[in-house]
Structure 1
């Protein structure tokens, strides 16, 4: 059974005080016994002095000296004369019988030989009676006296028990005080134990401690515990936030200790790792041995890492990855893998578009500059100058249309929420389009018609829907040829989409390799054809972006009977 703190404390105090008390009792008893013994020995020494005085008087007869004292000394006092050789000269306990046994080796005689006097308690070999012997050395003899060790002598030598009783009472009182002190300490320790073993939610802790040093310690422990619990909650919350961030991050994240042991990581990190290593792995530490990550391994294996940041790029499986390493103060580190394929493609696309825009702007700007320079010359007549200004004006229109088309594409891609959406009747929109292009259609004898468009209502932006059909029609007017038919047909619908076909009976595109790129910005099937016919080169790109805005898709193909056919779908509900 496990003892309590109070029990152990009481036991320790009890043992200490018990040993102390026993020591005091033993010391006091021995001192009192020694004192009483010395008092009795002094009395016996006085008797030996009387005997010695009598012997000095009766020098010729020692026995007569002893007999002369029979009435003066106590009746039970045994008196013995022993010569220097240990022979008994006289002993009143045996009368005139001379003892033949030598007494030189008696303890009291041996002490007297050495110290001049000696004492001893033992049973007499002569009469088998227990005596307290006392011997004293004189010039010629050892004078030995003895009292029978009876109850009277025993009681005289026995120490007084009053002090013992006093010590025992004091011992009991002290035990009670010890128990009281131990109880006070025990209560404080018990409360600390209950506190340590309890649930101990900080807001539920109501432990009260006594107003003493242990109470101060207890309250301090509770306060520190509350602070630790609060810090634990904060750390747990921050860890949960970190876990949520790691697992929901759009980047591959993995944390490593200074010994390269894996900590937290997300699934995207493993996915990117598998793509780069071309292996199916689930252990992030493979990057320390794979040759694709040799730069990272060299950086982390440096004897002294002077920099806390390292970045590199890896191209694998047609994808571009940006990899960053951040080293923390404790030499742990994180590795971040980011798929930048889309950004890289966007960068290349922007680079290509910038080049194309510069190329497209160069022609009208150069033309405008040339026409204006010629018109400003004094040798040019008024009619020629007007002709050059007219051509410059036409080029500004081309330039304006190009800028408008570029702005429209940018707005569709980057700010689609700015376009207002409403219910649009497509048949009404086609009527409006035909009226706007009637002159151009008549000029090239083009028949523009549609079918199955009654009650077709699309939730979308009117301007963008108009631009889809306008740019497709402009494209057919410019490039399909004369005497053709343009047909718009709603050939299918489901609960989410209308499916349309836009076709012409023109010349089509002979090399079908161009069909996959026809929606790219500034792409030309025939170099110079767009400029010759006045187009910006962005019409079909606008068509594709407008269709995508309405959650649709679009493809193009050559018709079996000649011409092009565009197949696209538009969301009904927007």
Structure 2
């Protein structure tokens, strides 16, 4: 039977180096391409949003949209300008002779503008003109202004990443691969010689040819191994077993620790990277316009606030896990906490505000932690305001006995898919990760709610309402 062909140590090491090196380079290239494309799209959107803002100002001053679009002289050829009312009807479009009758509220850029004030989409096909456009929309209290430029070859090339970066990375990686080949070949040759001497020593052969090893640190070590092999064999084996056991225990500890901290580390990277990017931009561009500098500082402050919320939530949930006895218990009136939720909701911006409907006909008092009980209502209300897409929040006392009370908190939003419901209370679990991070969510709010309810001897469940939205049902023991 033919012996199994095995790659030499040199080739194995070199292949491993190649896989690691090219994987690392590919990851950097893909990340840079995506980041550069997103940056260019944001910059183009900023130009178009400036046009949107000027047109809104012109409309407020009584200028007709046709007059504005005719007089506008800017850097974009074939600029398309569309005026849409908040019901989705097109009121003006400079690229069409006949206005379309279709409702435009389902357009992605329009939905985003109604939700966030502005929105854009890189490439979408127009049913009216049968062309692809880069759309940018802005909404105020009365209407939506949308500008668009044709997604032509020049535009796609402008949004594309610079290929010079790719060729530079490929060239550098090739040079590093060649250097790695020679380095691993030398190391592989030394390992091969050591392997041969080890085989001869294991067979008990007399070894007197040590000149083949190089006169360096590896050669000295190899000669000592050969000379002491027989005497130290049993001691080394016992030492290796003890070392393997200790290493396994240490790795198990590290694995458990990583499992606990990996999600936290991952959540910290995004705001830190964003802050670093804004600060580096400010330092690299001291002549930057005052408005843009202020915008970058405000965005950095938002990320700092996100970090503060994340650390506060991590601190809260850690205390509940490891030092729950430190939470002070006292009589807490739930009606007062609900009034705080209502007051807080009224102070929010209009697009983040929900109408709160309270059905709490009697005074309910619970002996527990005021901060944790407040976090239950606050986090559930914040979750509904940020992600439900609804306009109403309902808080109702479903049951009240001498031992416990049951409370329902629901919204009339879009709800979530059934497959996500069992995971909503898991730490750092997000239904829509991109939108959650954009809105500043830490992913710990519902986990804090679950632990806070459990701290007060209760349980919590969630379901999709038949009329739309989510309904949280939780029970609190009055004297736990």
The interval holding the TM-score normalised by the smaller chain is 0.3 to 0.5
Scaled by the length of structure 1, the TM-score of the pair is 0.39
- TM-score between the two structures when normalised by the length of structure 2: 0.46
Structure number, greater radius of gyration:
1
Bigger helix share: 2
Higher RCO (C-alpha under 8 Å, 6+ residues apart)? 2
